[in-house]
Amino acid sequence: MAGWRDEIIEAAKTKAERDAEEAAKHKKRVEEALTTADASVALAKEALGFARDRLRDQQLEASLEDQPDKLRLGLRDFSLTVELARDSAILKVTFGEGKPREFDFAKDRHIAPPDVEEYVGRRLVELVKAAQKAAPW
């Protein structure tokens, strides 16, 4: 239990001191969250690679771009992008030109890598179905 002296110290802090403490806490949360985010990116990469391989088995021109912290699977006019912002530990999954779905690992600590893999997998199914509908193979 905090004593009155600790409460005085806390109450007398300046806005700059409070902001600096909050920034330090956020930085620590981001550093801790990057472990989970990196594991999620690895599973997303496996999912994108699996989809690319299956599409190539059907003689389709599927491409997988693998850049640091950014993955993109392209099939005809359709694409799925997975991008990690290391400064905030936010993973963005974007289907086509739509609004990205954000996984904020620093804020939502309950997000698990398999959850992200499942989400990416479901978007891949949508991508393949949309491409199949646009130009059947």
pTM: 0.83
Q: pLDDT under 70 in the chain at which residues?
A: 1
pLDDT of residue 2: 76
Supply the Cα-derived Rg of the chain in whole angstroms.
21
* Bridge partners (DSSP) listed for residue 74: 63, 79
Single-letter amino acid, residue 129: K
123 contacts 80 by C-beta, under 8 angstroms: yes
Do residues 78 and 130 make contact, with C-beta atoms less than 8 angstroms apart?
A: yes
